[in-house]
Amino acid sequence: MRFLEKLKLIQNENNSLLCIGLDTDVLKIPPSLQNSNNPQLEFNKRIIEVTSDFVCAYKLNLAFYESAGERGYETIHKTLECIPKEIITIADGKRGDIGNTAEQYAKIIFDDWKFDAATVNPYMGKDSVEPFIKNKNNCAFILALTSNPGSHDFQYLEVSGRPLYEHVVAKATSWNVKKNIGLVAGATHPEELKRIRAMVPEMPLLIPGIGTQKGDMEATVRNGCDKNGLLALINVSRGIIFASGGNDFAARARESAIKIQNEINVIRNNYFG
């Protein structure tokens, strides 16, 4: 199934734009799981069990797993097995390298781990992105305007009268022959998010920066959705998975996911009907 079709189906089925980031820091896993064979995996399983009916996607930040070595690779495989097949899965590794190296990154992400999508750094140009967009069923979310403070170091630099991030958006659009490119655009830049959506009215946007980074939810939904109130994947990580550090972590995560999903949908209904 083409990526865009799968995304629209799950967003409609679960009535959700919520993407949960499984940034599972082993140091924050509750004591009740610490004696299990694989605490990180058990934590992920519990989070998925209690939130999968409220999300359109899960995003695994690969650093939290790769830092665990061989066990981390196993955890990625087994976490993905726990996620219902209709839900989008995103490998957040921000890969980007020369063509033959990018081929290997794409191979493990899509062929071995079998993620639906990956975040990709476009700094090295088209050949570093191409391996991630060969298959129309996979998506490359290209970094356009990130949510961190350091985004101002390069992404706003004026080039030929426009900020650099707009050139990235334009290039990504020209590469999007198979309709399987998306953009990463941070909630911490609401007016720029509006501009990006105007430039790519039919492209999916992965939007970090809500929650701990204090992105504005109303502006994010209003400016990030397409004309039908879809195609925005609003990522929340720590605000859901670590809503509690105690043994009630799963129940609190579910409560937080429901609250955020409801907040998003109230705004969607106000602006998109």
Enumerate residues 6+ apart whose C-beta is below 8 A from 265. 15, 16
Nearest to 180 by CA among 205, 206, 203: 203
Question: What pLDDT, on a 0 to 100 scale, did the predictor assign at position 214?
Answer: 75
Is 59:20 a contact under the CB 8 Å cutoff?
Answer: yes
Is 236:260 a contact under the CB 8 Å cutoff?
Answer: yes
Measured torsion, CA atoms of residues 133, 139, 143, 148, in degrees rounded to the nearest 10: -160
pLDDT digits (tens, 9 = 90+) for 175-190: 999 999 999 999 999 9
The pTM is what? 0.97
Residue 35: pLDDT over 80: yes
Structural domains of the chain sorted by starting position, each given as residue range(s) with its CATH number in brackets: 3-272 (3.20.20.70)
Instruction: Tally the C-alpha atoms within 13 A of residue 3's C-alpha that lie toward its C-beta.
Output: 31
- The residue type of 265 is N
- The Cα 232–Cα 237 span in angstroms is 16
Q: Which residues are catalytically annotated?
A: 94
Nearest to 193 by CA among 232, 238, 153, 139: 232
pLDDT digits (tens, 9 = 90+) for 217-253: 999 999 999 999 999 999 999 999 999 999 999 999 9
pLDDT digits (tens, 9 = 90+) for 95-141: 999 989 999 999 999 999 999 999 999 999 999 999 999 999 999 99
* 273 confidence band (pLDDT: 50, 70, 90): confident
Enumerate residues 6+ apart whose C-beta is below 8 A from 251. 50, 244
- The residue type of 109 is I
150 forms beta bridges with: none
pLDDT digits (tens, 9 = 90+) for 133-158: 999 999 999 999 999 999 999 999 99
Tokens of 244: 């509690």
Tokens of 158: 């004026």
